């Protein structure tokens, strides 16, 4: 059978080493920018979906059949990361059909087996049932997620670690006082966050540490604007008179302020009731902060040496005792040296991950399904 001219043109990439032109969904996400930073990858900008808000990329226009047909000759591959939950019913199927009709290969990174933006997972799992079998290649972030993908769909996913999103290591703040700080960030109370459970886990961790003779305090951070302000108010009221507990309600912090909050923690408790992978775990690893979190989530495998898993929120106490024993305290020279060491290692890892994406793209464009 004669090969389609567009497919032949894409296959020649292996011969002339031209850049692979990809449409990433979304292109501007920090993770996507990191994994496509190799010099052989050219990423198309996110199409503007609302001129009044040019920074908004969702629902992704790249997954509109008309956009695919119009731009098929200008790209070699589509890589879907996030945003399927924002598509109207039927759009994902239509986009997959349009990609197949245009001969444009598809890569999908399975970041979320459970979508953190949704309470009800049925629509998300239906989307995975659509895209996972039809993708030319799959990527995921942990061996545990790859196992679950294999069990559910019989497909193999390439496991590539989440790269660091930090450019450099910042100096650690000077420690003030001897108290151990166990903190959690509830942010805007997105659906994956079990705020009440996390608060219980936070108090259990501090109680266990204090019972063992460690002067620990709990610190709970919450954005002043949330997706459920009534729930946030109830939580703040419930914790207001708890001993050894600080509740910090503030505007959503910028990157520098967030790092300062994290750097003040000795332990970080993940507040997730469900989820798969976590950028928060990566950020804590980069800043040398051990993580307490639910044991059954794949994110426990992102940095297992820094992740103390527990079953049930009350189990956070035992996890805190184990995690603190091997952790350099916040604000100390030991923490600063650990952060600097990890920054160097993670910068090299980020280059390897980007190169691995480039090689995967070239294989897929050449017709190699994985």
Q: Which of 134, 133, 112, 108 is nearest to 124 (CA)?
A: 112
**Mean pLDDT, the chain, whole residue set:** 94
Per residue in 245-276, pLDDT (tens digit) is: 999 999 999 999 999 999 999 999 999 999 99
- Distances, alpha carbon 285 to alpha carbons 30, 173, 270, 279, 306, in Å: 17, 17, 13, 10, 7
Sorted by where each starts, the structural domains of the chain and their CATH numbers stand as 5-164+350-365 (3.40.50.2000), 180-331 (3.40.50.2000)
CB-based burial label for 368 (10 Å; 0-12, 13-18, 19+):
middle
SS3 87: coil
Mean pLDDT across 40-65: 96
The model's pTM is 0.94
Distance, CA of 319 to CA of 339 (rounded, Å): 22
Residue 172: the pLDDT is: 73
Rounded to whole angstroms, the Cα distance separating 248 from 186 reads 10
Q: How confident is the model at residue 163 (pLDDT cuts 50, 70, 90)?
A: very high
2 falls in which pLDDT band (50, 70, 90)? very low
| H helix and E strand count, the chain | 13, 12
Model confidence at 159: pLDDT above 80: yes
Per-residue pLDDT, 62 = 98
The predicted-structure confidence for 331-353, as pLDDT tens digits, reads as follows 999 999 999 999 999 999 999 99
DSSP sequence for 143-189:
HHHHHHHHHHHS---EE-PPPP--SSPPPPPPP-SS-EEEEEE-TT-
CB 162 within 8 A of CB 302: yes
Model confidence pLDDT, tens digit, residues 70-125 = 999 999 999 999 999 999 999 999 999 999 999 999 999 999 999 999 999 999 99
Categorize the per-residue pLDDT at 325 as very low, low, confident or very high, splitting at 50, 70 and 90.
confident
Is the preceding peptide bond at 59 cis, omega within 30 degrees of 0?
A: yes
pLDDT of 11: 53
Average confidence (pLDDT) over 159-187: 89
Residue whose C-alpha is closest to residue 159's, from 142, 134, 180: 142
């Amino acid at each position: 059978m004669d090969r389609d001219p567009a497919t032949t043109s894409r296959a020649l990439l292996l011969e002339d080493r031209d850049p692979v032109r990809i449409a990433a969904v979304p292109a501007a996400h920090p993770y996507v920018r990191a994994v496509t930073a190799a010099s052989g990858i050219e990423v198309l900008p996110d199409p503007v979906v609302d001129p009044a808000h040019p920074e908004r990329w969702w629902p992704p226009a790249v997954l509109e059949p008309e956009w695919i047909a119009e731009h098929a000759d200008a790209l070699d591959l589509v890589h879907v990361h996030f945003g399927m939950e924002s598509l109207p019913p039927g759009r994902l199927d239509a986009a997959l059909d349009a990609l197949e009709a245009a001969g444009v290969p598809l890569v999908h990174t399975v970041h979320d087996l459970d979508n953190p933006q949704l309470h009800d997972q049925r629509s998300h799992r239906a989307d995975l049932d659509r895209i996972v079998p039809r993708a030319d290649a799959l990527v995921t972030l942990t061996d545990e997620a790859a196992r679950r993908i294999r069990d559910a769909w019989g497909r193999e996913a390439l496991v590539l670690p989440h790269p660091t999103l930090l450019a450099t290591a910042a100096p650690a703040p000077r420690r003030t006082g001897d108290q151990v700080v166990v903190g959690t960030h509830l942010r805007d109370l997105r659906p994956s966050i079990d705020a009440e459970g996390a608060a219980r886990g936070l108090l259990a961790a501090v109680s266990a540490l204090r019972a063992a003779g460690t002067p620990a305090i709990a610190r709970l951070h919450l954005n002043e604007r949330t997706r459920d302000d009534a729930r946030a108010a109830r939580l703040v009221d419930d914790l207001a008179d708890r001993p050894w507990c600080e509740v910090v309600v503030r505007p959503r912090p910028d990157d520098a302020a967030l790092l300062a909050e994290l750097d003040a923690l000795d332990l970080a408790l993940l507040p997730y009731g469900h989820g798969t992978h976590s950028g928060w775990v990566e950020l804590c690893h980069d800043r040398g902060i051990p993580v307490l979190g639910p044991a059954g989530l794949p994110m426990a495998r992102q940095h297992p040496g820094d992740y103390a898993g527990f079953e049930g929120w009350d189990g956070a106490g035992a996890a805190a005792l184990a995690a603190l024993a091997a952790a350099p305290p916040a604000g100390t020279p030991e923490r600063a040296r650990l952060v600097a060491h990890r920054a160097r290692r993670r910068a090299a890892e980020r280059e390897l991950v980007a190169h691995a994406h480039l090689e995967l793209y070239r294989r897929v464009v050449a017709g190699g399904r994985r």
